[in-house]
Amino acid sequence: MGKYASDLDMVFLALAHPARRAMLARLGQGEATVGELAEPLGISLPAVTKHLKVMERAKLISRSRNAQWRPCRLEAGPLTAASGWIDEQRRVWEGRFDRLETYLGALEGEEGRRDDR
């Protein structure tokens, strides 16, 4: 993803790795340190740091500082934007079927009238 990737690009990309989704799920329970996030993943700490960078770039998380710990916090906005995009697509897509249904209904009405004469 080049230099000019959009917000949504980065959010969906961040969601496209199971380790990152696991970290987000964990962060849904509340703040966590890097070590706490890394523990269940079975990958090295530097690998976790890289995943965190991907999620920070997508603004899915923010970091604070507490002594030598740098806790991560979930930011809901981008998640809302992502599912918003999907839901919008589904809305349009389902709307298309509704209109098709209406159209077929209208056709049926036509045929009914034709049958009547």
- What is the distance between the alpha carbons of residues 28 and 74, in angstroms, rounded to a whole number? 6
Strand partners, 63: 72
Give least dist CB 82 to DNA, A: 16
Give least dist CB 79 to its own copies, A: 5
Binds its own copies by CB under 8 A, chosen from 44, 64, 89, 102: 89
Binds its own copies by CB under 8 A, chosen from 12, 22, 36, 59: 12
Helices (H), the chain: 7-15, 18-28, 34-38, 45-57, 77-116
Give least dist CB 68 to its own copies, A: 26
Question: CA angle, 26 as apex, 12 and 17 as ends, to 5°?
Answer: 30
Beta-carbon contacts of 78 under 8 Å, excluding residues fewer than 6 positions away, are 7, 11, 58, 59, 60
Q: Of 6 and 66, which has the nearer Cβ to its own copies?
A: 6
63 binds, among its own copies, DNA, none (CB under 5 to 8 A by kind): DNA
Task: At 41, list the tokens.
Answer: 């993943």
Residue 16 binds DNA, judged by CB under 7 A? yes
Q: Of 4 and 97, which has the nearer Cβ to DNA?
A: 4
Q: Which residues bind DNA (CB under 7 A)?
A: 1-3, 13, 16-17, 19, 33-35, 38, 43-54, 63, 65, 67-71
